[in-house]
Each structure stands twice: as structure tokens, then as C-alpha cells.
Homo-oligomer: A and B are copies of this chain.
Amino acid sequence: MSRPLIEVDPTRSVEEQREVLMNRWHPDIPAVVSVKPGDTFVVECLDWTGGQVRNDDSATDIRDIDLTPNHVLTGPIHIDGAQPGDLLIVDILDVGPHPKQNWGYTGIFAKQNGGGFLTDHFPEAHKAIWDFHGVYATSRHVPGVRIPAIPHPGIIGTAPSAALLNKWNARERKLISQDPNRVPPLALPPEPRNAIFGKLLPGTPEYERIAREGARTIPPRENGGNRDIKNLTRGARAFLPVHVPGAKLTVGDLHYTQGDGEITFCGAVEMAGWIELHVDIIKDGMNKHNIQHAMFIPSPIEPRFARYLVFEGYSVDEAGEQYYLDAHVAYRRACLEAVHYLMQFGYTGEEAYTILGAAPVEGHISAIVDIPNACCTLWVPTEIFEFDILPKKDGPHPMVQGGKIAHA
């Protein structure tokens, strides 16, 4: 692996290294470096919070995370010759933990701070620390599991054009206006506090303008961005729409592993780390291939499992209310089924929820036209558990002490 093109240090503050970092989407954030089509390079990234989470046994840091500086990303990187309408080919060649930090974390966000997918069931903050042992992670906070790595960037995206940015801000503001005081909020508008745009410093008119306009990095959008697709792992090839000259590629929010949906919000195994990329361009690729969104070819080197236990959910909520083909509700019910199932082995609800966020579970939309019920399925690979979780005719598995997994 060559020397990083951009280096960061997780033991130092965001402020000290802000000139290679950014945390909003805007066409006018200046590029940190330039590369050419055909180049291979390594970029280092802080964890998405820029170091707000500690390797300890308390969840107060998760509870108190300040979301205004998030996500702390590395870039943008100017790709020579990229023009609006092109497709950027980004080969994700490798991803790993930062040499200075061989651990990661999964957080259940408190409902007061945005919550997660099951926030009505688990409204309090919770944290699990994961130790990395090569391609496996284990956690002193989640007994009985060993999770194989599927390292990937939660965020990889290009800069929006001014027009596209305006469209984003307009449609999201309209949504927010439906219920502006909701907890958690429906969406997050531009937020000048703690905005970072590399060498552009607060106090300058350009900084202040971008800070007022720049879109938050939480949602995925037509620039790619925070898609949290675990399958963008080493070996995958991503295709990203180009909206501004030079594309302005940005990357960060690295995950050691993650389940489909990243359901605890901070649900992946979050880490500081590095990513090796190769870039190329398909000229006029969006038009030539008739597409508006990012797309990708997955890697031949994903962890593969043969045996899953698959949970089902339909679009009827926990209170018995019927929804119309609502895959969100259906997936939540499938997740709740899995949480309850895992609790039979002695897991707490928070532990089970954490496993579903962090392990490479799969979430499938199995049926979406059988009115009024969508059917979503949650695929839990049985091999991540150190004991047999399959249903048994003869009760709890004898390998689990007293029918229950031992807690530390």
C-alpha cells in the first residue's frame, strides 16, 4: 500500500487537521488534492464523529454526541477531466482500521438525539466497543458473537451542483415543515454551526455562505453520499454521478462491518481508518446509461454465509395498525421478531439490537405488491454466533449455559 495521499490522525482533534476535512455537501468547497483518471491512492478518515466516542464502558458519549459537526469526512478530491454528466468509476480497493486505533464502536442513539430504527422500543443511549482481530471483531459488550469484516465507507459521494443543492434543500425543508418540532426530526436543514470546509475558515464570506447553504451529510442523495451500503466493500466498483467539474469526491464514515439498514443509527461498527481507491471516468455516462443515481458492482470478496435464520415482518405496526405496502414498518417488525427471538438465549434487547445493527445481516424486500402488506425479511447468518441459534424441537440449545448465554 502506498503512502496515504491524505493523512489524518484519530488521536488529534478535528480542529487540528480540519484543512483536509469537510462535513457538508456544497459545490464550492475547495478541493484538497487533485488526481487523474487511472490513479490509485489511499485516503485516511476519522470516524464519523471526529473522535467523540471513547473506548470505555459508558454510553454517555453516545448520548451526548453533537451531530452538528457530523459526518467528519475527508476531501473533496478533484478528478481531472471529470465533467457534469460523466459517471465516475470508483474501485474500492481496500479498507482498514487506522493504524493508531484497532477498535470500533456501535451506538444506539437516544431518541432525544435522533434515535434509531427501533427508537420507540430502545429510547436510551447504549454503546458496544468492538475489538478487531484481523478479519473478525468481538465485543466485551456483546457475548457469544464473532463477526467477519466487511469494511466499507458509509459515505462516498461527489459534490452537488448549485441547482441540485437547491433542489435538495427545498424538498427537505418542505418535509420538515410538515412537523417542524418532531422528536426525532423528519430531516435536518443546513446548519452553520461547526461546519468544516477544509482550508476555508469561519469568518470569511465564502465560508459563511457555504455554511448557510451546504446540505447535511446524513441522507444519501443523487450524489451517492451516506448510502451506508455494506456491500461497497473492498473489491467493489462504484459508479457515481458527476455534477460539478472535477467531481469533488469525498469519502468517510468508515465501517468495519454493518447490517443492512444500520438500524441502531450509529449501527455499524464505526471506525477511523483508511481506504484505497482507484478512479476512472465514463464520459457522458449518466446519459449513455440512462441513470440518475449511483450504482455499483459488488465484490467477489464479501463474507459469504450458507445458513441464515430469516425473520419476517409485514406492514402492521406494533399496535396493530395496518399500513399500505409500507416496507419501513414491515422491516421494523422483522427486526423486532429477531430481537425477541435472540432474547430467548439471554441477550438483553439492547444487545440483540446491537447485533442486528453491527453484524452483516441482510434486509430483503420480499413482497411489495400484496396489498396492503409489504413483507420484509431479515436474514441473520447463524455462523456469527458461537452457539447454535436454530429452532429446536427439544428446547434451548444445550451449549448455552443453563439455556442462557453467559454475560461477563
Contacts and interface: CB of A to CB of B under 8 A. Distances in A.
A364 B260 contact: yes
Given A116-B369, A285-B391, A301-B301, 8 more contacts: A171-B320, A171-B322, A187-B371, A263-B368, A289-B341, A300-B304, A327-B376, A388-B388
Contacts of A304: 300-302, 304, 306
B229 A367 contact: yes
A357 B321 CA distance: 29
A239 interface: yes
A291 interface: yes
A231 B375 CA distance: 13
A251 to B, nearest CB: 14
A80 to B, nearest CB: 16
Interface of A: 1-2, 40, 87, 89, 91-94, 97, 99, 102, 114, 116-117, 132-136, 148-149, 167, 171-172, 174-175, 184-188, 218-222, 226-231, 234-235, 239, 260-265, 267, 276, 278, 280-283, 285, 288-314, 316, 320-328, 331, 333-334, 337, 340-341, 343-344, 362-377, 379, 383, 388, 390-393, 395, 398-399
How many copies of this chain does the complex contain?
4
Nearest to A285: B391
Best-buried of A116, A260, A276, A388 by chain B (most CB within 10 Å): A260
CB-based closest 4 A-B pairs:
A93-B134, A94-B134, A306-B306, A327-B327
30 contacts: A93-B135, A116-B369, A133-B278, A136-B235, A171-B321, A172-B322, A175-B324, A186-B372, A218-B371, A219-B370, A219-B373, A227-B366, A228-B370, A229-B375, A229-B377, A231-B310, A260-B366, A263-B369, A282-B392, A289-B341, A291-B340, A294-B312, A297-B310, A300-B383, A305-B306, A307-B383, A325-B328, A331-B365, A331-B368, A362-B364
Contacts of A312: 220, 227, 229, 293-296
Nearest to A342: B290
A133 to B, nearest CB: 5
Nearest to A172: B322
Given A367-B228, A391-B87, A219 B327 contact: no
Contacts of A148: 235, 300-301
